[in-house]
Each structure stands twice: as C-alpha cells, then as structure tokens.
Amino acid sequence: MLDTNSSGGKRTLSPEGQLLVTSNLALVGYVVSGLAMKLPTYIDRDDLRSAGLEGLVQAAHSFSEDRGVPFRHFAALRIRGAIMDDLRRKDWATRSVRQAGRAREEAVDHLIATLGSAPKSTEIAEYMGVSVEELRTLDASLTRGSVLSLDADPASGSGQATDFVDAESLGPEEHILDTEFQTYLRAAVSALPDRLGTVITRYFLQGHAMADIAEDLGVTESRVSQLRAEALVLLRDGMNAHLAPEQVPISTRPGGAVDRRRSAYFASVAEHRLLGLDQRLTEEKKAAADRLRQPSTAGMAS
C-alpha cells in the first residue's frame, strides 16, 4: 500500500501500518457518515470517502503508541482533517467572499428595519462603505455560489430550500466546524465527573441559581463557584484535545494523578462523541425506515 508524501514521492506502508489501515477501513465510512449529516446534499460522499481513506493511510504512517491514545481515536481525527482539507480545496468561495456575503445580508436586514422597505443597491453600497460596482461584483460572486442539488428534480417542483446552497449561508467547512463544535461540547459535558457535570448542567443549561445548587449539593456558594471554574477549564481542554490539540496546556507533572485523570477525561469525551454519533445514525436509519413504511399520498388516494 502506497502513500503520496508532500514532495510527490511514494512511501510504502510497513506491514504493521497496512494492518492498521485494513482493520480500520470501516472507520472511514463511520466518519464520513457523521460528517455527511452536517453537509449540504450536493457534496459527493465518494469524494469524502476518498479523502478520508487518504487520511487513514496518513494516520497509519505517523501513528505511535507513545502518543498514549488508541489508533482509532488518532485516525478519526486525521480522517476528519483530510476530509476538511479536501472540502477547503474544493470550496468555490474564499473565506473573505463568504464574510462579505454575510455583511451584505446584515446590511440589508438593518436597512429594511430602518427604512421599512427593501433598500436600493446604492443604499446597500453606501451602508457597507463600498462602491455600487464593488457591490455588483460581490453579488455576481454570490450568485455563482447558488448550487442546485443534483439529487433534486427541478421539473418536479419538489425542490426544497435546503436543496439550494448559496454563499451567504455557511460553507461546507463552516457547516462541519459549527456542528462538530456542538457535538464535542455535548460530549464534553456528558463526560464530566458527576459533581462537575451537575454544576454545569444546572447552572448553564437549566438556569438554576448558584445558591440552590449549593444547597442541594450541601456545599457553600463559593465551593460551587470553584467547581464551575474547574469544570469550564476541563471542558475547554477536553474539547481542544480533539479539535485543537496545540491549545491544550502541557502537563507540568506528566504521569501524575492529575495528568492521568485529565487523560482519562479526554478519552471519555471521544467515547461519548462516538456514542452520540452512533445514536444519531440509529435514529436516522429508523426515521428512514419509518418513511419507507408510510403509504404514499397517491396510494391513499387510490
């Protein structure tokens, strides 16, 4: 099995690397299925799989057991990263164009609220601080970003709003980043130790007063504040361990009790995320099966 390196040459996987790839091929499909749920329908899954397979091979090349994480978790990040890179390369619009598109949308919303009617191009341009010609160029770029999903049949009239993806909405990369952040946040909260999880859930998600939480836990409000701060640091590092490892502070006492607990929490976040993806895939399959079992409108009419 070969892999292309950055200089265009070929590297041969060791027998151990080949075994890692062949025994984890299903992981590519698993990651692709999770990401595909967050992407516009026009994105080709075969392209995602190809990029993901490349990421798996790269993971097999660079994996070392000294990292202290299972290959499955390490490879899942590399597969996701390879798919993200591929989407970024193929994305039609630059980040600046997408930002300008959102700025235009905000300008129109503000002017409608202020003027009470749809603004003219001159008014939009003036509000944005650009010339009318620059606004027209931006509009042309945004129009080119309107993509009709190949899965929809325009003649049938069955196209839905989600079948049309324009530049003012999130791009493929941003779709993934936003949803992936939410996925890891839920996993990180679920993986918190009991008391820390209780404080975060009740204070931030349920809106309970700190005094009430302190009374129920049998501690002082000051202690609840400490637990909240501790949980927020753990949440931040637990998410960064998977989304931005370079931002996780280096342990001052590697192998110590605190370091082991943190490492165990980071691994638990990954497990909770995979469990959450499993549950969502199961729910989607069940929903799809239910739709297939439902009689069609035409069949009911006959």
Q: Which residues of the chain have pLDDT under 50?
A: 2, 4-9, 143-170, 297-302
**For position 94, what pLDDT does the model report?**
60
Q: State both tokens at 188.
A: 């990180």
Task: Please list the residue range(s) of the chain that carry CATH number 1.10.1740.10.
Answer: 11-90
- Dist CA 209 CA 225 (whole Å): 11
CATH of 172-293, one of 2.60.40.420, 3.40.50.40, 1.10.10.10, 1.10.580.10: 1.10.10.10
Q: pLDDT by residue (tens digit) across 193-225?
A: 999 999 988 888 777 888 999 999 999 988 998
Considering the entire predicted model, what is its pTM? Answer: 0.42
CATH code for the domain defined by 95-152+159-165: 1.20.140.160
Q: What is the pLDDT of residue 295?
A: 60
Tell me the C-alpha distance between 22 and 168, whole Å: 41
Q: Which long-range contacts (CB under 8 A, 24 or more apart) does 39-44 make?
A: 39/172, 39/175, 39/176, 40/147, 40/149, 40/162, 40/165, 40/172, 40/175, 41/149, 41/151, 41/152, 41/162, 41/163, 42/147, 42/148, 42/149, 42/150, 42/151, 42/165, 43/87, 43/172
pLDDT score of 195: 92
As a whole number of angstroms, the distance between CA 285 and CA 56 comes to 26
The pLDDT value given to residue 155:
36
List C-alpha distances in Å: 143 to 47, 102, 138, 164, 175: 24, 14, 9, 11, 19
pLDDT, tens only, 103-125: 888 888 788 877 777 788 888 88
pLDDT at 142: 59
- Listed in order, the ranges of the chain carrying CATH 1.10.10.10 are 172-293
Cα separations (Å) of 15 from 53, 56, 57, 60, 72? 17, 15, 12, 10, 18
CATH topology for 11-90 is Rna Polymerase Sigma Factor; Chain: A (1.10.1740)
